[in-house]
Amino acid sequence: MEFHLEAIASAKVKVNILLNGGHNYTIWLKTNSPLLHSLLAVIRGKSQQQTEPSSQWFHIPLEEGNTALSFPQSSLVGLVTEPPLLLHNPAANDLQGTNILTSPYIQIDNFLSETEKLELINYSLEKQANFVDTGTITNTAYHPDHRKSVVLYQFPEVSEIFLRRLREIIPFVLNKLGMGFFPISHIEAQLTAHNDNNYFRLHSDNGTPETATRELTYSYYFYREPKPFSGGELLLYDRIIHNSSYYPSDRFHTIEPRNNSIVFFPSQCYHEVLPVTCVSQAFADSRFTINGWVRRDESFQF
Ligand SMILES: O=C(O)CCC(=O)C(=O)O
Ligand SMILES: [Fe+2]
C-alpha cells in the first residue's frame, strides 16, 4: 500500500540563508519545495544563466506573506540546513575496486505507547480474514521458496497515525545512519504476520526498477506477551561494493525483533528474516510488523 499524503511525506528543513555582508535569515522549507531547489542550484553553481534580470533575484515571502525577503542570486554565499542536506551519497563517494561497507541500522524501543501497541494487535486480529499470502507475489520460478508470511495491504484506520509518527523521526534517523536527507515522495507501509516456519530469504528492498527509489527501510515489531514465538531475527548484511554495485558480504548484524521497537536501515542493504517457530500456530501468536519504505522524490535532485 502506498500513501501519497503530502503532509506526511514532505518533511521540513530549517534553512539559514547566508548573504553577502554577513546577513542571514532562517526559513522553513519542505524538502521538495522548488525554492529550496533553486537555492541549492545556485550554491552548486548550476543555475542557468538567465537573460531575464528579474529571474536572477530571489523573492521569499515571510510571515505569511506580510513581508518579503528579496536579494539577487549573486548575494547568496551559503546555506546552513538542519537536518543536513548532502549533495551526494558519501557512502558511495569515490570508491574504486572492491570495498566492504558496514550496514548501519538503528533500533528504537517503545516506538508506540503500550495502549497503542495493544490496539494494533487487536486491530490485526480483527482483520485476520483480509491478510493474503506474500509468497504469491514475491516467489518466482527462480526463487520458489523466497518468502513465507501473510500481509495486509490496506489498514487506513491505523496507517495514517503511524506514518505521521514515523515522519517526525525521519530526520533524526537519517542523521544517525549517516545518510543525507533527501526529498521524500511518499512512504509505503504494509502489515505483515510471520507464523510457524515463516521466513523471508536474503534480499535487498530496492533492486528492481519499480523499487529503485526506496531509500530507507523500516520495520516495527509488535506481538502478544509473553512472547509467543521464537526465531524471526532480522539479519542485516554488510555490503560489498564492487564496480559501483552492492552485494551482501558474509558479515551480518543480528537484530532481535523486540516488541514495540522499530528498526531502520538503508534499503540497499541485504537482509533476511530467519524462520519463526510458533508452537501454537495461532494467528494471534504471530510475529507482527508494520514495515515499509521511504521513497525518494526523483523529480527533485539535490
Ligand atoms: O520483518 C522484517 O524484519 C523485515 C521484512 C522485510 O525485509 C521486508 O518486508 O522487505
Ligand atoms: Fe526487506
Q: What is the mean pLDDT of residues 209-227?
A: 96
Q: Which of 204, 215, 291 to mutate to test the pocket of ligand 1 (most atoms within 8 A of CB)?
A: 291
d(C-alpha 9, C-alpha 3), whole Å: 8
Closest CA to 162 of 124, 202, 116: 116
Residue type for position 215? E
d(C-alpha 64, C-alpha 218), whole Å: 35
- Give the pTM: 0.78
C-alpha grid cell for residue 240?
560489498
Which has more confidence, 151 or 37? 151
Residue 214 has pLDDT above 80, yes or no: yes
CA separation, residue 71 to residues 25, 89, 178 (Å)? 11, 31, 33
3-state secondary structure of 290: strand
- pLDDT per position as a tens digit, 48-102: 455 455 568 999 988 877 889 999 998 999 988 876 675 544 445 445 667 889 9
Residues flanking ligand 1, CB < 6 Å: 200, 205, 219, 234, 271, 273, 289, 291
Domain ranges across the chain? 11-82, 92-296
- pLDDT per position as a tens digit, 20-57: 999 999 999 887 788 888 888 888 775 445 545 556 89
d(C-alpha 102, C-alpha 240), whole Å: 9
Q: Which of 192, 194, 253 to mutate to test the pocket of ligand 1 (most atoms within 8 A of CB)?
A: 192
* The ligand 1 atom nearest the CA atom of 134: 9
Supply the ipTM of this predicted assembly.
0.99
Asked if 253 contacts 235 with a C-beta cutoff of 8 angstroms, the reply is yes
Instruction: Please give the share of the chain, as a percent, with pLDDT higher than 70.
Output: 85
CA dihedral (20, 25, 29, 31) in degrees, to 10, reads 40
* The ligand 1 atom nearest the CA atom of 255: 3
Q: What is the mean pLDDT of residues 251-270?
A: 97
Angle at 110 between CA 287 and CA 167, to 5 degrees: 95
Tell the CATH topology of 92-296: Jelly Rolls (2.60.120)
- pLDDT per position as a tens digit, 261-299: 999 999 999 999 999 999 999 999 999 999 999 999 888
* The ligand 1 atom nearest the CA atom of 271: 7
Q: What pLDDT was estimated at residue 33?
A: 80
